[in-house]
Amino acid sequence: MDIPNPLKQICNFMQENYFQSDQLRRAEVHMYYGNLEAAEKIYLDNDRRDLAIDMHRKMNNWPRILKLLQTSNASNSDALMIEAWKEVGDWFAERQKWAMAAKHYASGNHFDELLDCYIKMDDFGKMEQLMHQLPDNHAVLLVNF
């Protein structure tokens, strides 16, 4: 039986997608068993950085998300990058590593948290620098007496 060309192309397309989804299923199995490095490698080899980021997001692995986003050239990841900076800063703040938390909060422009870190570190010089960087009507600068 001779298959017409368009149908043959559709069959080839479906076979290629089946192979790709088989690879992605294999990555899901690796993730289930805790082998995140192998799963990430499969995702990245299949050009699915978004799935690698989602996997690390499920595992709450924000430092790895930051690394993936920094190596990515995608411009649509700005909001996720800002969220990742905050999450990593929160992780350091929970462990009272204020200098590292401040570094990450500053990178993500999270000024409220950054001010808290400077207060905890008693770093009045950096608080003054922050004050000069912020616009006049910023909420951090408003003081109620």
* Both structure tokens of 53: 């980021």
Whether 53 and 10 share a structural domain: yes
Residue 145 maps to a domain: no
Whether 34 and 10 share a structural domain: yes
Q: Please, which pLDDT band fits residue 16 given cuts at 50, 70 and 90?
A: low
Neighbours of 27 (CB within 10 A): 25
Whether 55 and 112 share a structural domain: no
Q: What is the pLDDT of residue 142?
A: 75
**Assessment of whether the complete model's pTM goes beyond 0.85:** no
Residue 55 maps to a domain: yes
Average pLDDT over residues 13-26: 68
DSSP structure class, residue 2: P
Q: Is the pLDDT of residue 6 over 80?
A: no
- What residue type is 19 in one-letter code? F
Helix extents (H) in 33-121 = 36-45, 49-58, 62-71, 78-94, 98-107, 111-121
Residue ending a domain, among 9, 39, 59, is 59
Whether 48 and 77 share a structural domain: no
Please tell me the total count of domains within the chain.
2
Structural domain harbouring 51? 1-59
Whether 74 and 135 share a structural domain: yes
Whether 10 and 51 share a structural domain: yes
Whether 99 and 72 share a structural domain: yes
Burial (CB < 10 A; 0-12, 13-18, 19+), residue 100, is middle
Query: Residue 88: which of 58, 110, 116, 112 has the closest Cα?
Result: 110
Whether 38 and 75 share a structural domain: no
In the block, tokens 């401040």 appear at 102
Whether 79 and 50 share a structural domain: no
Residue ending a domain, among 22, 40, 59, is 59
The CA distance from 101 to 46, in Å, is: 34
